[in-house]
């Protein structure tokens, strides 16, 4: 039995991780620490049987120290972050505050309780992104753990900075840390500002599908449940001080992702009764294809061309392998949004 602190556990990946861990480790207890920003949602973890939510900020070092002590917490899984690149372009300060200062504060609390205090066995697992490695050309090899950092957006620069702090706390103080750098996640409970839920819900509600540039930017898509398995493997088999790349094995240009979304939405209207009544503004409710909603918009400033993950190390050392194909994962995700309208409707102006 272990007690975990999951920061950002009311967000997309953190929330999925809480459900994943509860199902597989029912003897463990999870304390979720989340500031409930626009991206956090209590209802994401409502009903998780072995978790409770503390509304608070990772920058509150005193609160974190108290939680670690009073709840005998031996593992921190750190998801909390400002996570949307577009928001970092219009307002970088929140990214510096939460992603850099927040991670530093959390590390200080962990050091104070775990190293200066009772010296208990512990692990600090930090969730990072492949965006810290910068952008690849079409023929470049995929990012490995040895690829030099070259972040291009305020978001990725803030994540790179937090990765370096985590590494430094291991080398300087001996904190037992691991870091995972993952590719683009998708799946249930994702806030509808990110590509896949935004496009799924816009297609259902008959709104334009805004495509940046020529739509040929490439990302490696990772189903969130595969990501959770990768994090679990880092926690159980990862070596302190190491970093692991977690990929989805589904490198696709955005346009192919968008075409798959349109196709799956059209198919859903063919096969699921009542969708045309529920979503009368959707093109297939009116005998048209979802693709008519595709709209090209001005490209994101500094838009990275291609990300691709080489997860050979995680495969070899952690027996990690993504299990879901993109088509399967996307279909499951669409089904989840169709079945969980109560979760997303308040987030979307219909
Ligand atoms: P998210 O934006 O959905 O959730 C972030 C959560 O953190 C929210 O619940 C929010 O309320 C909370 N939070 C923000 N600031 C906080 C603070 N100061 N104190 C406490 N809680 C705070 O993010 P996500 O997509 O679930 O991403 C989780 C982690 O994974 C992030 O660290 C992100 O950088 C990383 N990541 C995400 C992706 C992706 O595709 N979503 C890809 C690579 C890495």
* 196 Cβ below 6 A of ligand 1: no
The CA-based angle 175-242-99, given to 5 degrees, is: 65
Mean pLDDT for 210-219 is 93
Task: Decide if pLDDT at 168 tops 80.
Answer: yes
Active-site residue, 311 included:
no
pLDDT for 48 equals 96
Query: Which atom of ligand 1 is nearest the CA belonging to 41?
Result: 9
- Confidence class for position 350, pLDDT limits 50, 70, 90: low
Task: Specify if 290 maps to a domain.
Answer: no
pLDDT for 120 equals 77
For residue range 32-69, list pLDDT tens digits in order.
999 999 999 999 999 999 999 999 999 999 999 999 99
* 79 Cβ below 6 A of ligand 1: yes
Mean pLDDT for 193-208 is 96
Task: Decide if pLDDT at 313 tops 90.
Answer: yes
Q: Whose CA is nearest to atom 5 of ligand 1?
A: 11
- Confidence class for position 268, pLDDT limits 50, 70, 90: very high
Residue of 6, 10, 13 best suited for mutating to test ligand 1, as the one with most atoms within 8 Å of CB? 13
Mean pLDDT for 135-140 is 94
* E runs forming strands in the chain: 3-7, 29-34, 51-55, 75-78, 123-129, 177-182, 184-186, 209-212, 218-223, 243-246, 251-253, 294-297
Task: Decide if pLDDT at 210 tops 80.
Answer: yes
Task: Specify if 196 maps to a domain.
Answer: no
SS3 199: helix
* 40 Cβ below 6 A of ligand 1: yes
Active-site residue, 163 included:
no
* 179 Cβ below 6 A of ligand 1: no
Task: Specify if 269 maps to a domain.
Answer: no
Q: 166 vs 34, 74, 107, 171, CA distance in Å?
A: 20, 17, 7, 9
The Å distance, Cα 14 to ligand 1 centre, comes to: 7
CATH code of the domain containing 51 = 3.40.50.720
Cβ–Cβ < 8 Å for 21, 229: no
Residue carrying structure tokens 């959707």: 282
Task: Specify if 81 maps to a domain.
Answer: yes
Cβ–Cβ < 8 Å for 65, 130: no
Active-site residue, 131 included:
yes
265: enclosing H helix or E strand? helix 254-271
The Å distance, Cα 12 to ligand 1 centre, comes to: 7
Mean pLDDT of the chain: 96
d(CA 343, CA 325): 25
* 13 Cβ below 6 A of ligand 1: yes
Catalytic residue among 34, 57, 130, 304: 130
pLDDT for 60 equals 98
d(CA 193, CA 37): 14
Task: Specify if 214 maps to a domain.
Answer: no
Task: Specify if 45 maps to a domain.
Answer: yes
pLDDT for 118 equals 75
d(CA 195, CA 186): 9
When comparing pLDDT for 183 and 299, which is higher? 183
Task: Specify if 280 maps to a domain.
Answer: no
Query: Which atom of ligand 1 is nearest the CA belonging to 130?
Result: 43
Looking at the DSSP bridge assignments, the partners of residue 294 are 209
pLDDT for 113 equals 96
The Å distance, Cα 274 to ligand 1 centre, comes to: 35
Q: How many residues make up the chain in this entry? A: 350
Number of domains in the chain: 1
- Confidence class for position 331, pLDDT limits 50, 70, 90: very high
* 329 Cβ below 6 A of ligand 1: no
268 Cβ neighbours under 8 A, 6+ residues apart = 275, 334, 335, 338
* 39 Cβ below 6 A of ligand 1: yes
Query: Which atom of ligand 1 is nearest the CA belonging to 155?
Result: 34
Domain limits at 136?
A: 3-187+223-247+308-323
pLDDT for 52 equals 97
Catalytic residue among 131, 220, 251, 266: 131
- Confidence class for position 117, pLDDT limits 50, 70, 90: confident
- Confidence class for position 292, pLDDT limits 50, 70, 90: very high
Share of residues in the chain with pLDDT > 90 (%): 96
Task: Decide if pLDDT at 254 tops 90.
Answer: yes
* 209 Cβ below 6 A of ligand 1: no
The Å distance, Cα 79 to ligand 1 centre, comes to: 5
Task: Decide if pLDDT at 119 tops 80.
Answer: no
Cβ–Cβ < 8 Å for 189, 227: no
Cβ–Cβ < 8 Å for 19, 48: yes
CA 87 to the chain's CA centroid: 16
Task: Specify if 313 maps to a domain.
Answer: yes
């Amino acid at each position: 039995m272990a007690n975990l602190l999951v920061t950002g556990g009311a967000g997309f990946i953190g929330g999925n991780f809480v459900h994943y861990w509860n199902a597989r480790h029912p003897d463990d207890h999870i304390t979720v620490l989340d500031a409930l920003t626009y991206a956090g949602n209590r209802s994401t973890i409502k009903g998780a049987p072995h978790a409770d939510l503390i509304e608070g900020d990772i920058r509150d070092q005193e609160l974190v120290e108290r939680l670690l002590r009073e709840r005998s917490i031996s593992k921190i899984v750190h998801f909390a972050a400002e996570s949307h690149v577009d928001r970092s372009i219009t307002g970088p300060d929140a990214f510096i505050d939460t992603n850099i200062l927040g991670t530093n504060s959390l590390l200080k609390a962990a050091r104070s309780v775990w190293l200066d205090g009772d010296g208990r066995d512990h692990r600090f697992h930090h969730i990072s992104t492949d965006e810290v490695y910068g952008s690849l050309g079409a023929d470049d090899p995929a990012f490995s753990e040895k690829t030099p950092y070259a972040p291009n957006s305020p978001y990725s620069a803030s994540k790179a900075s937090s990765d370096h702090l985590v590494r430094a706390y291991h080398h300087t103080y001996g904190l037992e840390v691991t870091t995972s750098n993952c590719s683009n996640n998708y799946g249930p409970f994702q806030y509808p500002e990110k590509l896949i839920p935004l496009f799924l819900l816009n297609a259902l509600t008959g709104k334009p599908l805004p495509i940046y540039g020529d739509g040929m930017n490439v990302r490696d898509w990772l189903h969130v449940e595969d990501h959770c398995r990768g994090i679990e493997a880092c926690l159980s088999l990862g070596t302190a001080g190491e970093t692991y790349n977690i990929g989805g094995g589904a490198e696709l240009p955005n346009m192919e992702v968008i075409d798959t979304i349109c196709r799956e939405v059209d198919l859903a209207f063919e096969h699921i009764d009542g969708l045309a009544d529920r979503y009368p503004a959707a093109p297939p409710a009116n005998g048209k294809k979802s693709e008519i909603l595709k709209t090209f918009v001005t490209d994101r400033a500094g838009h990275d061309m291609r990300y691709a993950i080489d997860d050979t190390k995680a495969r070899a050392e952690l027996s990690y392998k993504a299990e879901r194909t993109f088509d399967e994962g996307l279909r499951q995700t669409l089904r989840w949004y169709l079945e969980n309208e109560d979760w997303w409707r308040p987030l979307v102006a219909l």
